[in-house]
């Protein structure tokens, strides 16, 4: 009998295992399906924590709702009645000691009309005049492979980009705008400039496309952990081992020996590595392979939740959170007013906020060395400064995702291709899957899990 082992029980590994289990049953295939997970629970970066009345997500907090394939997975798992959607509201930018609303009629902070630019409280009169050059300057040199930051600054001016666009856009695409290409962020910018002569006019003409609608993101009544529990409950006909870390993989003829942390050895014909690349790179003793893995990059993030015995109505009406514009003012990059955005996260209606501390922030170097108590103090200072709340929290949750956030740099597709080539040539039967390579969003991971399972089926 052949054995398939999936290493890593995050959403990618679970989605892959579910697909393999269906195939095993439908085709009455004689196969052993094993999933090995290092930690005591499944889910990886999906991890719901409950304290008092609060529901907190230590990792991912929601799923983008427009991907319809995800909806069919949710229905298949019987979770459709559990689905909840976010309340949409206004986002702010914390700048010069104040919360300033991101103006109406903007996409990623980019004005989609001249009125929106005129009304902005984030940009000075000079900054607004500078932005008008968008209407009369032509694009002569920029291509999609140029930096999106340089492109936007060239046509919309430095101040609008620094104060209104960069805080939003670099948060969404996790990186400095100078390091991100137009192609990997907003590829249509070049076409807008070409077709309409102006970025602002381009957005104005295409406004409908950017209307998010009321329901942009979804979660579940009891948190995203429901998705993990639902997969786990469906994985009969498979063997799941938690607290089981794979330390090494060795070639044994046409099979592989997986050496576990308890020194046991599992023999496998096919192995799926649905673990972060930083965990995968040490498993096989092959310097060439390790060097291919090292071309992939990642960054860090610390998430801090604070729950207060204070009604969340004390925050600005219809607000859902803020982004920090100037890194010398606050240590956090952003703060979500979770109880505002997600009703299910606070049964009492008390305030729950989540602060994000990213490695791109100059303060991060000292934060990453801090104890949880000191991190809590830092978060409370940020909350006092930005929201004026001095109450002590009744609940808190701190998770350090050190080196766990994949960064898809310009070189990413080439690095993944080279890695795949090396593995296919030297380690047949081993395949890579998951957020380090094929997309970080939960829908991408679910889809990649399904595709990776099908790749293994083809190898049978």
Q: Name the residues that contact ligand FAD, by CB under 6 A.
A: 7-13, 36-39, 44-46, 59-63, 245-246, 274-276, 279, 301, 303, 401, 404-405, 434-435, 440-442, 445
Q: Which helix (H) or strand (E) holds 110?
A: strand 110-111
389 vs 435 by CB, closer to ligand FAD: 435
User: Which residue, 225, 381, 356, 375, is CA-closest to 301?
Assistant: 356
Minimal distance in Å, beta carbon 399 to ligand FAD?
7
- Residue 192, CA distances (Å) to 78, 205, 240 in order: 43, 9, 51
152 vs 296 by CB, closer to ligand FAD: 296
34 vs 160 by CB, closer to ligand FAD: 34
User: Which residue, 109, 180, 129, 135, is CA-closest to 322?
Assistant: 109
CA distance 34 to 24: 13
37 vs 292 by CB, closer to ligand FAD: 37
34 vs 246 by CB, closer to ligand FAD: 246
Minimal distance in Å, beta carbon 441 to ligand FAD?
4
Minimal distance in Å, beta carbon 286 to ligand FAD?
16
User: Which residue, 452, 450, 9, is CA-closest to 225?
Assistant: 9
Report the 3 state secondary structure along 231-282: HHHCCCCCEEECCCCEEEEEEECCEEEEEECCCCEEEECEEEECCCHHHHCC
144 vs 297 by CB, closer to ligand FAD: 297
Give the sheet arrangement for strand 334-336, strand by strand: 98-101, 90-95, 319-324, 334-336, 350-358, 297-311, 395-407
Assign 178 to helix, strand or coil: helix
152 vs 235 by CB, closer to ligand FAD: 235
Q: Which helix (H) or strand (E) holds 386?
A: helix 372-387
Minimal distance in Å, beta carbon 312 to ligand FAD?
20
85 vs 401 by CB, closer to ligand FAD: 401
Task: For the beta carbon of residue 198, count every other beta carbon within 10 angstroms.
Answer: 21
Minimal distance in Å, beta carbon 305 to ligand FAD?
11
Length of the chain: 460
Minimal distance in Å, beta carbon 60 to ligand FAD?
3
Minimal distance in Å, beta carbon 59 to ligand FAD?
4
Six-digit token pair at 114?
Answer: 């001249």
Minimal distance in Å, beta carbon 44 to ligand FAD?
2
**Phi and psi torsions of 217, nearest 5°:** -130, 155
């Amino acid at each position: 009998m052949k054995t398939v082992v999936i290493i890593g029980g995050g959403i990618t590994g679970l989605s892959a295992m579910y697909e393999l289990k269906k195939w095993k049953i439908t085709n009455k295939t004689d196969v052993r399906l094993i999933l090995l997970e290092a930690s005591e629970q499944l889910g990886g970066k999906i991890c719901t924590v409950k304290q008092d009345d609060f529901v907190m997500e230590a990792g991912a907090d929601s799923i983008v709702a427009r991907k319809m394939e995800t909806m069919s997975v949710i229905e298949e798992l019987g979770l459709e009645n559990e689905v909840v959607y976010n309340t949409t509201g206004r986002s702010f930018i914390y700048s010069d000691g104040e919360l300033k609303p991101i103006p109406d009629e903007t996409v990623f902070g980019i004005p989609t009309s001249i009125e929106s630019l005129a009304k902005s409280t984030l940009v000075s009169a000079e900054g607004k005049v500078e932005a008008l050059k968008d209407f009369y300057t032509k694009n002569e040199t920029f291509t999609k492979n140029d930096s999106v930051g340089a492109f936007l600054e060239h046509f919309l001016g430095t101040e609008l980009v620094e104060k209104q666009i960069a805080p939003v856009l670099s948060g969404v695409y996790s990186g400095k705008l100078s390091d991100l290409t137009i192609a990997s962020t907003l590829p249509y910018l070049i076409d807008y400039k070409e077709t309409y002569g102006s970025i602002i006019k381009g957005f104005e003409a295409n406004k409908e496309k950017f209307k998010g609608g009321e329901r942009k993101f979804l979660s579940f009544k009891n948190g995203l952990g429901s998705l993990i529990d639902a997969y786990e409950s469906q994985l009969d006909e498979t063997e799941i081992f938690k607290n089981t870390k794979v330390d090494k993989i060795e070639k044994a003829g046409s099979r592989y020996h997986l050496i576990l942390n308890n020194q046991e050895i599992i023999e496998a014909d096919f192995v799926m590595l649905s673990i972060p690349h930083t965990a995968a790179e040490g498993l096989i003793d092959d310097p060439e392979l390790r060097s291919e893995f090292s071309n992939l990059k990642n960054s860090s993030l610390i998430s801090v939740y604070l729950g207060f015995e204070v009604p969340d109505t004390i925050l600005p009406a219809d607000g859902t959170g803020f982004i920090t514009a100037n890194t010398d003012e606050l240590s956090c990059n952003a703060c979500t007013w979770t109880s505002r955005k997600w009703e299910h996260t606070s049964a009492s209606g008390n305030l729950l906020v989540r602060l994000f501390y990213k490695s791109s922030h100059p303060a991060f170097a000292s934060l990453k060395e801090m104890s949880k108590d000191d991190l809590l103090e830092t978060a409370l200072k940020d909350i006092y400064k930005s929201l004026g709340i001095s109450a002590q929290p009744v609940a808190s949750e701190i998770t350090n995702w050190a080196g766990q956030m994949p960064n898809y740099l310009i070189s990413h597709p080439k690095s993944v291709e080279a890695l795949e080539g090396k593995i296919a040539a030297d380690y047949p039967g081993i395949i890579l899957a998951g957020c380090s390579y094929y997309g970080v969003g939960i829908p991408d991971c679910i889809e990649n899990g399904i595709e990776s399972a099908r790749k293994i089926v083809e190898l049978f």
